[in-house]
Amino acid sequence: MALFSCKLGASDDRIIIRDFEAADSSVLRKNLEDQGFFVFEVKKKPFQFLLDKGLKRKRVDNKALLTFNQELLVLIKAGMPIMQVLDAIMERHDSGVLYEVLLQVRDDIKAGAALSVAMEKHGNAFPYLYIASIRAGERTGDLPQTIRRYIEYLKRVGTLRKKIIAAVFYPAILVVFALIAITLLLTYVVPTFSQVYTDSGSQLPALTQLLITCTRLLRKFFVFGAIAGIGLLFVFRSWKSTEAGRYAFDRFKLTVPIAGDVFSKYSVAGFTRTLATVLGSGIPIIESLRMSIGTLNNVFMEKRLFEAVRFIEEGGRLSVALERIHIMPPLALRMLGVGETTGALEDMLLDVSTYLEEELEERMHLLTTAIEPAIMLIMGIVIGVIIIAMYLPIFKIAGTVG
């Protein structure tokens, strides 16, 4: 599919310039004319090879998807036919990825396709989990309830992601400014002082001499070090993109002290909330598990969960299967066991997710509280040592004069 820039005349005399994806310019022109546009120009966008490699964003982001589903829910509950619903939504979103996708979804529905079938043709724009939920809602005849569940799911996932980003944002800023301050000292202040001391010909203290030597080595081998660092990063990313590399790295992440627990809780919290959402849509347990596994975003944990799915296919219980693979805390497993016994598995999965999210928030708060003073302390020590090393010769000269 290529990207074309089109100049169009609308029925209300507006001139519209918009981008569309199509296999061929003539097919695109005919489709636009069939939709009632007067086509002035269809021009292929340059640098298509860059767009094909992923620089063009094709997926509908979570914020746009949330807004779309909120509008979709309100209009469907109001009793409007799906074609009128899509028309109303497209009037509010008259550009962007969502608009372009909805244009094609609308055409497919007009041709007789179901909403889920029309959306399934755009798997690069809509998450697979969302399409499956819509299909399940159509099958059960309760599409509004399915959309409502997915809206709650998007809100909870988005809120958790924002809290985690907020928790690591300030420490990251501190680290960046600390590195900038230390770099300025080593590349500008220290060389200036070292030149003064060299010109004076005085004997320098060992600490000062060590710092000057380190600074010279840093400046001399900086370019080589930067190239080597970029090369190592490239090698690491290439290795991590392989199946064995991704598996080993994801397994290593879970073994890192403190951080491993955070990674694990975040993955399992997302998995349990996703599983509850899909089960609530009326999808069978095995299919729901297979659909939800991808939300873990950890190959090592995904393989362990596939083992649990095979155990359940053989007649085992979900709580027992998860206990065998050791990815959940004991309290969460007991909660799931109660949910299975009482027939309230969906509600218990949501409770487990909430419990893990609250634990995760508490852990992130403690980590942030501990990291901030630690960064300040380390930065103060490093900068203090640099300043003391630079001023030691001055103190020595002053003592000699005295």
Q: Which residues in the chain land under pLDDT 70?
A: 1-2, 10-15, 21-24, 26-27, 34-35, 46-58, 94-95, 123, 200-202, 294, 397-402
Per the CB < 8 A criterion, the answer to whether 320 and 264 are in contact is: no
Looking at 3.40.50.300, 1.20.1250.20, 1.20.81.30, 3.40.50.2300, the CATH number of the domain 259-361 comes to 1.20.81.30
Tally of CB atoms within 10 A around 282? 17
User: Roughly how many angstroms between the first and final C-alpha of the chain, as a whole number?
Assistant: 81
Domain 2-55 has CATH 1.10.287: no
Contact 302, 289 (CB under 8 A): no
The whole-number pLDDT of residue 232 equals 94
Instruction: Give dist(CA 184, CA 385) in Å, integer.
Output: 15
Whole-number mean pLDDT of the chain? Answer: 81
Phi-psi region of 87 (alpha: psi -120 to 50; beta: other; left: phi over 0): alpha
Question: In the prediction, which pLDDT does 231 show?
Answer: 93
Domain spans of the chain, in order of start: 2-55, 62-126, 259-361
Please state the φ and ψ torsions of residue 40, each to the nearest 5 degrees.
-85, -40
Cα 292 to Cα 5, 275, 308, 371, distances in angstroms: 38, 6, 13, 33
**Rounded Cα distance, 14 and 157, in Å:** 39
Length of the chain measured in residues: 402
- Say what the pLDDT of residue 52 is: 45
Give a three-class secondary structure readout of the chain: CEEEEEEEECCCCCEEEEEEEECCHHHHHHHHHHCCCEEEEEEECCCHHHHHHHHCCCCCCHHHHHHHHHHHHHHHHCCCCHHHHHHHHHHHCCCHHHHHHHHHHHHHHHCCCCHHHHHHCCCCCCCHHHHHHHHHHHHHCCHHHHHHHHHHHHHHHHHHHHHHHHHHHHHHHHHHHHHHHHHHHHHHHHHHHHHHHHHHCCCCCHHHHHHHHHHHHHHHCHHHHHHHHHHHHHHHHHHHCCHHHHHHHHHHHHHCCCHHHHHHHHHHHHHHHHHHHHHHCCCCHHHHHHHHHHHHCCHHHHHHHHHHHHHHHCCCCHHHHHHHHCCCCHHHHHHHHHHHHHCCHHHHHHHHHHHHHHHHHHHHHHHHHHHHHHHHHHHHHHHHHHHHHHHHHHHHHHHHHC
pTM, 2 dp:
0.65
Measuring CA to CA, which residue among 335, 329, 310, 332 is closest to residue 321? Answer: 310
pLDDT of res. 79: 86
Closest-CA residue to 156 (of 336, 293, 357): 357
Contact indicator for 158, 66 with CB cutoff of 8 Å: yes
Give the per-residue pLDDT at 228.
Answer: 93
